[in-house]
Each structure stands twice: as C-alpha cells, then as structure tokens.
Amino acid sequence: MCANLMITSFLITGGPVVWLLALFSVIATTVILLKIWQFWVDKRLNSNIPDRALLALEDNSPAQARLLLQGSRNPQSRVLLRAIQLHDEAALTADEARVESWRCARAETGELGSSLRILEVIANLAPLLGLFGTVLGMIEAFRAMEAAGARVDPSILSGGIWQALLTTAVGLGVAIPVSIAHSWLERRVEVEAAGMQDKLERLMTYYCTNEGGAPKQATTSKNHNKHA
C-alpha cells in the first residue's frame, strides 16, 4: 500500500512527461519479454539440430538430414530444409535454388529482428523526453520566482529544480536498460544471421562438390535439352 502511494506521488510530481516515460517503460519491457520468448522458447535459437543435419548430409544421409530438420522451428533449420527442397527440385537450376535460399534466409533474419526498432526508438527518445520535462520544470520554477518578486523563498527555487530534474532522471532510467537490452538482442540476431549464412554456404558447397547433387542434374538436363 505504501509503495503504491509512493509510485502515485512520484508520477503526479513528475507530470505528463513521467507518465509518458512510464508508458515507454511498459512497452519496452513487453517487447523485451516477447523477444526473449521468441528466441529461446518458440524458435529455440540454441538448438544443435542444424549442425547435426549438416553432418548427416555430409555423411551422405540426406533422408536423416531431412528428418532432423522437419518440424523444427529453428530459423537455421527451416532455411536449410527449404534449401534442400529447392536443390532437389528438378525444375530449378543451381543458381535459381541458391537465390531462393538466400531470400528465405533474409526473410527469417528479418522476422528475428522485428520489433527491435521499437526498443531503439524508446532508447533514443526517452532521454530527450526527460530533458524536455526538465526544461519545462525549470521554466515553471523561474516563473514562480518572478511571481514572488522581492519575497523570494529559496525553497521555491530548490523545490522546482528537483522536480524538474526528476524527469531527466526517469528518462535516463528508462533509456539505459532499454539500450542495453536492444544491443543484446540485436547482437543475438547478428549471430544467428551469421550462423545461417555459414550453414547455407556449407550446404551449397556440399551440392557443388557432390557429383550426384540435384542442381547438377537439373543443369545437365537443361543443357541437354538446349543442345537437342
């Protein structure tokens, strides 16, 4: 009960700017929790299935590789499975399968990075809003001093100043953790994108060096039809 009264008093003292910053804090916390759930619960970014599937494929066990990848929500697994399916389609050449595989990888990376822009905006805007609130508070404090005239009470100025500085403190208090969380999540997306690129390159190398690869058969068939 006492804590609720203190929070309410804090919000009332800070004014509309603190209310807005509190809203930003709620939005940022929601986005951070959703991204954590997406990365480690829904998409299971730490899964070792892509590595196991590639090892199976390189050991000439494509059926086992597909079995491992099927049903996995891991972005790397989905991209690898789609790339294998594309390379197995006789209607596509190696270049066409490669282009479509990279398009799928970019789409998965874009989905991982969704909503991170919100955190970036909040991290950049919160300190500015805090400073804006401080400027408004200082204007109000000096206006009160002017109205007091010769009967200026130092407590009026000091009270107005600490209330004005409150918004800056709240703005920084929101911006710092949000900025840290944004950098951490963004780095995680970069690591996942790099891993996805590495595994796609390994897959394409396998198909290029494997004489029985589907792309080579498709290319050979097309060249044969062209000469015919």
Q: Assess contact for 44 and 74: CB atoms under 8 A.
A: yes
Which residue, chain included where needed, has tokens 């196991």? 52
Q: Which of 47, 181, 161 is closest to 116 using CA atoms?
A: 181
- pLDDT at residue number 54: 92
pLDDT in tens, 151-203: 666 666 666 677 778 889 999 999 999 999 999 999 999 999 999 999 999 99
Find the mean pLDDT for residues 56-79.
89
Of the candidates 214, 37, 227, the one whose C-alpha atom is nearest the C-alpha of residue 115 is 37
| Residue 121 scores a pLDDT above 70 | yes
Residue with tokens 């789409």: 107
Q: Is 15 strand, coil or helix?
A: coil
Looking at this protein, which amino acid is placed at residue 2?
C
State residue 138's pLDDT score. Answer: 82
Contacts of 33 (CB under 8 A, 6+ apart): none
For residue 202, what are the contacts with CB-CB under 8 A and spacing of at least 6?
54, 58
Residues in Cβ contact with 86 at an 8 Å cutoff, skipping those fewer than 6 apart: 92, 96, 97, 100, 101
